[in-house]
Each structure stands twice: as C-alpha cells, then as structure tokens.
Chains A and B, each alone.
Chain A
Amino acid sequence: MQIINLIKRKIFKQQAGIISVEAPAASFSIKNLLGGKNVGDLVFQNVLRFFASILLLIVVLMVIQMVNQSMPSIKQFGWNFIKNNTWDPVKEEYSAWPFIFGTLYSSLLALLIALPLSLGVSIFLSEFAPRWLEKIVSLLVELLAAVPSIVYGLFGIFVLAPWLRTTIEPALGNKFGFLPLFTGPPYGLGMFAAVIILVVMILPIITSISRDVMKAIPVTQREAAYALGATKWEVVKIILGGAKSGIVGATLLGLGRAVGETMAVTMVIGNTPQISYSLFEPGHTMASVIANEFSEATSTLHVSSLIEISLLLFIITVILNAAARLIVWGVTKKYKGRK
C-alpha cells in the first residue's frame, strides 16, 4: 500500500514534469562564510550522500554474494542451466528453464487478463462513475492491494482450486478441449489457479495507478476535447493518450509484482517443474522453487542452483523495472516540451 502510493506519487510527478533529473537541494538559509554555503546544508548533504551510497553498497554486495554462491552451479552447468529442462535433486541435475517458463507464462497470462480489466475499471472510475461510487470502488480496490499474499494463497487452496477442479476446468475441457490451453485432467491446483490469483493481485496495482494518472489529466484537456465536438468515448481516448506513460508504468509494475510473487503462487501452482501450455497442468515458478526447496537443499550444488535461480530472478526484475522507468521517462520526455 505504502509502496504503491510512493510509486504513484513518483509517476505523477514524472508525468507532471515536476521531478527534474537532478533536483539540486536548494538552500534558502542564510549563506555564511563557507564559500557561501551553509554548514548545516553541507553536513546534511553529506549525511544524505552517505545513506544513498549505503543503498548502492547493499545492492552491489547482494549481487556479488549471489554470483559468488552460484559459482558451483554456473561452473557445472554453464548456459545449459538456462536451456535444459531437468530439475532432479536426486541425480544432482539442475536447470532453470521450467521455472523461468513458469514465471513468465503465469505472469504474462495474468497481465493479459488483468490489463484490460484494470483499464476498464479505471476508465469507469475516472470518467463515468458518480463520485460516491468512485470512492467506494476505489477503496475496495486499494483494500485488495493491501491483502497479504498468504491470504490469497489460502483462498486459492480452499476455495478457488476445488471450484476449478469440480466445475470450471471440466466444463472448459469439454467445450474447448481442442485448444492447447485447456488440455489434460483437471487438477485444480495448477497454472490456472496461479494465473487467477495473480490477476487478483496485480489488478489493484494497475487499476489504482491508471485511475490516478487519468484523473490527473487536467479538466482543461477534457474541455478542449468536448469543445471540439468529441463524444464521451473520444474524450476517453484522448485522456488515455495523455495517460499513456503512466499506464505503461503501472503495467510494468504489475508485471514486476507478478514475476516476484512467491507465497500465493507457491500455494496454488502445484509445484511441478514442467513445461506445458495447458492451464490445467501444474507448474512451477522461480520464486516458488526457491521458497519450496531452500530449507531441504543439502548439497552444495542444489543450494548453488537455487541461488543462481534467485540471481536470474533478480536480473529479470531489474530489467523489468529499468524498462518501466525508461518507457515512462521516454514517453514523458518526448512531450514535456519547453518549460
């Protein structure tokens, strides 16, 4: 919740062009002898610098540690670690592709479903809903974002999975069994449950940020569109155009959340390292294999392989976040124009 709000604010400010690339800490206090600089400011600046470098240091140390500890596995398997499909602690053969696949497949599917839903809800909230309804729905959406993932996991195990097994999956299998998405026996616990849980988890993030970004588009824009003879829907399109960067950012944040989600997914995905496009089949993700096997991993190679997976997960998340920032920054910069 806190974090979402922080990020929201950040996106806003970027969108509004408030955050400049390097905001100099302006000092309005009385200048004194130190070359026109204030002692307090100098001390303050250096303390901040120190904290900032600590952050950087932590990240660097983490990466070094991860690389260091995954060395045995990197040496043993090389690139095959990413390419192969076997994960067999008994034979001491490890490779990460099923997990990478599971992570990407579940996250992307979840995003594919969540994005249109979130956009629909946020358009409704910002453009169509009466104020009171908007307040209520927004509150519910924010509440959804605050639910701990273990709660979603439990809900998945005890409510969602049985329902999928007995009702939804058989029905889908009967009707659409010819699609690769819906083949195999209905387990309940599997990719389907994981995707649905992920949808519920990322929906509020994307919705609330997109809604805020759309609401931040000034009334003058709407009026400009109306006065040109735009219909309600055309006004929405123009607003979407203006909110594009924020929505892209929100989407990538949602994707980041889905990729990193551990607890709830572990509880419902079935934890079977295999590659299947069928939603009914169980799968595995990078985060869930780490959570599952860390406590029981005894051999050096097993531990090291798990750490290498965490390194890969770290890299994927960093890339996603960097991409989010670059896109948001790129879109805003393109249209920021002259001051």
Chain B
Amino acid sequence: MHNVELLNITETADSNISNKKAENKKEKIKVDKLNAFFGNVKALNNISLSFSENTVTAIIGPSGCGKSTLLRCINRMHEEVSGTYEGIISLDDENIKDNDPVWLRRKIGMIFQKPNPFPTMSIMDNVTAGLRLNGIRNRSKLKEIAEQSLRQAFLWDEVKDILKQPGIALSGGQQQRLCIARTLAVSPEVILMDEPASALDPLSTNKIEELIFELKKSYTVIIVTHNMQQAARVSDYTAFMYLGELVEYNKTANIFTNPSNKRTEEYVTGRFG
C-alpha cells in the first residue's frame, strides 16, 4: 500500500546527516527537550527537533502519540486547554513564551482537521476575520488581501461571485481551502496543519496537497497526517512519533525507504498503527 516509487526520489539518502536538523535552510522553529502535560499526564516526552524555513515537515505516528499536542504547543494553543509544557520552543531563536500568545498565533497559523469557517460570517468576512481582528478596517485593503489569499488557496475562481454567501454554504474541501485562505490572510510565517485533508474526498485532498506544495515556497509548513502516501508526497522531512516520543526524524525519503528504526519501518509499511 505504501508505494515507495511514488516518492520520486532524486537525491540519495544519506542517513548520516544530522537526523534532527534540516540542512542549508534557516531553522525557523526549534523545539528543545519538550515535555508536555495535561494536568499530571505526560503527553510528550523529551522531544527535540527543528523545522526549517521553506520546507514541509510531516509528523506521523499512531493515534494518541502526541502529534496534535506537539503542534498545539508550537502555537501555544496547548495552554488554552490548560495544558502545560517544559522545555523551550523558539521561533526565530526567540522563546515563544517571551511573547504574547496572540502575537505568536498571528505568526504561526493553524489549520484544523475539520474545516471550521465561522458559520455566521460570509465567505468574504471569513477570509478577513483575522485582519479585522488586527484592526484593519479599510474596505478596499480588506478586499485586496481577501482576493490575494483566496487566489493563494486556489479558491478564488470558485467563490469570486458568491463572496457574500455564508462560508458554510461551501463544500467541505472548499471550506478547508477557505480556512487556509483565512490563515494566509494574516500573513503568518509558519503554518501548522493538523490532518487538514482527513475529512475530505480524494479530489479535495489532491487540491490541498497541491496547495501545500505551493505554500512551502513562502512558508514553513508542518503537517500532521495519518496518510503515509500524503506524507511521502508533500513533505521534505518526516518525524515519526510513538507514545509521546520522537522516534525518528529525517528526510522523508529516508524515512520511507531506509528507516533506521524498526518501529518506523513497521509503521510506514503499515504493519502496525
């Protein structure tokens, strides 16, 4: 089922390259000895890795291994469900705890598993919601950014004539792209995606994947996925997690063709998880 030929690997895997670091590119986000808790329950155990600019990193692993928790630590949404963490997460070498979470979340956008447009807002208002929160009121400016974001999310042509209609009147795949446009509109630098295509049909999934490929030109993208082919198709790096620990982190090609850990191999070949 996990067709390795899909990967279209050109570079030869060099498993000796630092397996915690993407080389040549600036490290945008660094996670250092992260332990995350829900109350007394530890969900993440001593995780260290970094995410580089203009790369897509996939996080894979069986259900409950802490993928979402890791993402949610990075944009400090973990705190909103009264979770805590120890260790250091930094954005551009600055500890994220040194800044206002509101400010941080404008730099680190997040896409959720289930499309969640604001149901009482029109398509237009949905896209501009974040901007309006930022205090931008100028209508032509809002319109301009909305169009630009919708184009970036490959949605513009489908909605340009119905911008006044409610966002939830769209199909699931369109809604998800609307949510992506909404996130792009506030011009973040990092985009976290928690299983962004798992609620979508194959065609919509395809579109989202194409989109991710485009996004990496300008953003740092971290995507959680249960779909091995998807991870293989869209990501440059892959992190495999198991029971709250980071088991293996390497170039996607290496993870799928030549995993150094037995568990990783079993997981990516579908023998467990």
Contact = CB atoms under 8 A, between A and B. Distances in A.
B77 A335 contact: no
Nearest to A232: B102
A225 B101 CA distance: 13
Contacts of B109: 227-228
A241 B169 contact: no
B208 interface: no
A314 B202 CA distance: 57
B133 A224 contact: no
Interface string A313-339: 000000000000000000000111110
Tell me the dominant secondary structure on chain B's binding face.
mixed
Contact of B120 (A229, A230, A242): A242
Interface string B104-126: 11100110101011111100000
A230 B133 contact: yes
B77 A223 contact: yes
B166 interface: yes
B120 A223 contact: no
A224 B117 CA distance: 8
A199 B32 CA distance: 56
A227 B118 contact: no
A222 B81 CA distance: 11
A334 B129 CA distance: 19
Contact of A229 (B106, B112, B118): B106
A234 B130 CA distance: 10
Interface residues of A, number: 23
B116 A223 contact: yes
Contacts of B119: 221, 242, 335, 337
Given A242-B118, A335-B120, A226 B105 contact: yes
Contacts of A228: 105-106, 109, 129-130, 133, 182-183, 186
Interface string A213-243: 0000010111111111111001000100110
A220 B109 CA distance: 15
Contact of B118 (A226, A231, A241, A336): A241
How many of chain B's residues touch chain A, expressed as a range?
Answer: 20 to 34
B81 to A, nearest CB: 9
B222 interface: no
B36 interface: no
B112 A223 contact: yes
Contact of A226 (B77, B121, B170, B179): B77
B73 interface: no
B179 A224 contact: yes
Contacts of A234: 133
Given A230-B133, A244-B120, A338-B169, A220 B112 contact: yes
A226 B116 contact: no
Interface of B: 75, 77, 80, 102-106, 109-110, 112, 114, 116-121, 129-130, 133-134, 165-171, 179, 182-183, 186
Interface of A: 218, 220-231, 234, 238, 241-242, 244, 334-338
Given A224-B116, A337-B166, 8 more contacts: A221-B118, A223-B116, A228-B109, A228-B183, A229-B104, A229-B105, A337-B119, A338-B171
